[in-house]
Structure 1
Amino acid sequence: MTRAATPELLCDGPIATITLRRPDQANRLELVDLECLESHVETLRTSPAVRVLILQAQGAHFCSGFHIDAVPGVDAPALFERLCDRIENLPQISLAALQGGAWGGATDLALACDFRFGTDACQMAIPAARLGLHYYGGGMRRLVTRLGMGPAKRLLLAGQSLDAAAMRDCHFLDECLPSVEALRARVQDQAQTIASLAPLALSGMKRHLNTLAFGNLDREALEQDRQRCAQSTDLQEGVRAWQARRPPRFTGR
Structure 2
Amino acid sequence: MHFTEYSTLLVSHEDSLVSITINRPEALNALSSQVIEDLGQVLDVLTTAADDGDWLFRGVIITGGGEKAFVAGADIREMTAMTADEAWECSTRMHALTLAFEALPVPVIAAVNGFALGGGCELAMACDFIYATSSASFGQPEVSLGLVPGFGGSVRLQQRVGPAVARELLYTGRRISGDEALRLGLVNAIFGSRDELLAGAQKTLAAIARQSPTAVATVKRTVGRVDGLSTTEGLALEAESFRQAFTTSDMREGTRAFLAKEKPAFPGH
Q: Same fold (TM over 0.5)?
A: yes
Q: Which residue of 2 aligns with 1:210?
A: 224
What is the distance in 2 between the residues matched to 1:195 and 1:39? 24
For residue 62 of structure 2, what is the amino acid of its counterpart?
L
**Is 2:66 the partner of 1:59?**
yes
Q: Larger deviation: 198-207 or 71-80?
A: 71-80
Q: Larger deviation: 190-199 or 44-53?
A: 44-53
Give the deviation of 1:126 after TM superposition: 1.4
**Is 2:156 the partner of 1:153?**
no
Q: Which residue of 1 aligns with 2:147?
A: 133
Instruction: Verify the 8 A CA contact 1:85 1:138 in the aligned structure 2.
Output: no
Q: Larger deviation: 154-163 or 5-14?
A: 5-14
Q: Which residue of 2 aligns with 1:249?
A: 265
Q: CA offsets per residue over residues 24-50 of structure 1, 9 Å max, x none? A: 221112111101111212221222312
Q: Which residue of 2 aligns with 1:103?
A: 117
- SS of the residue corresponding to residue 54 of structure 1 reads strand
Q: Which residue of 1 aligns with 2:206?
A: 192
- For the structure 1 residues 242 and 198, does the alpha-carbon distance in structure 2 shift closer, same or farther, using more than 3 Å as the test? same
Using the aligned pairs only, state the percent identity: 27
Give the deviation of 1:9 after TM superposition: 2.7
Instruction: Verify the 8 A CA contact 2:31 2:119 in the aligned structure 1.
Output: no
Give the deviation of 1:63 after TM superposition: 0.7
For residue 75 of structure 2, what is the amino acid of its counterpart?
H
TM-score with structure 2 setting the length: 0.86
Map 1:68-79; keep pairs closer than 5 Å.
68-70=76-78, 72-73=81-82, 74-75=86-87, 76-79=90-93
For residue 44 of structure 1, what is the amino acid of its counterpart?
L
Instruction: Verify the 8 A CA contact 2:113 2:135 in the aligned structure 1.
Output: yes
Give the deviation of 1:68 after TM superposition: 2.4
TM-score with structure 1 setting the length: 0.91
- Structure 1 residue runs of 5 or longer lacking an equivalent are none
**Is 2:253 the partner of 1:237?**
yes
Q: Larger deviation: 206-215 or 52-61?
A: 206-215
Cα root mean square deviation, aligned? 2.0
What is the distance in 1 between the residues matched to 2:240 and 2:226? 16
Q: Larger deviation: 214-223 or 57-66?
A: 214-223
Instruction: Verify the 8 A CA contact 1:28 1:65 in the aligned structure 2.
Output: yes
What is the distance in 2 between the residues matched to 1:161 and 1:78? 25
What is the distance in 1 between the residues matched to 2:237 and 2:164? 32
Q: Which residue of 2 aligns with 1:228?
A: 244
What is the distance in 2 between the residues matched to 1:193 and 1:12? 15
What is the distance in 2 between the residues matched to 1:17 and 1:154? 33
- For the structure 1 residues 148 and 221, does the alpha-carbon distance in structure 2 shift closer, same or farther, using more than 3 Å as the test? closer
- SS of the residue corresponding to residue 249 of structure 1 reads coil
Give the deviation of 1:174 after TM superposition: 0.2
Q: Which residue of 2 aligns with 1:32?
A: 34
What is the distance in 2 between the residues matched to 1:223 and 1:156? 36
For residue 111 of structure 2, what is the amino acid of its counterpart?
A
- SS of the residue corresponding to residue 62 of structure 1 reads strand
Q: Larger deviation: 97-106 or 127-136?
A: 127-136
What is the distance in 1 between the residues matched to 2:178 and 2:148? 25
For residue 185 of structure 2, what is the amino acid of its counterpart?
H
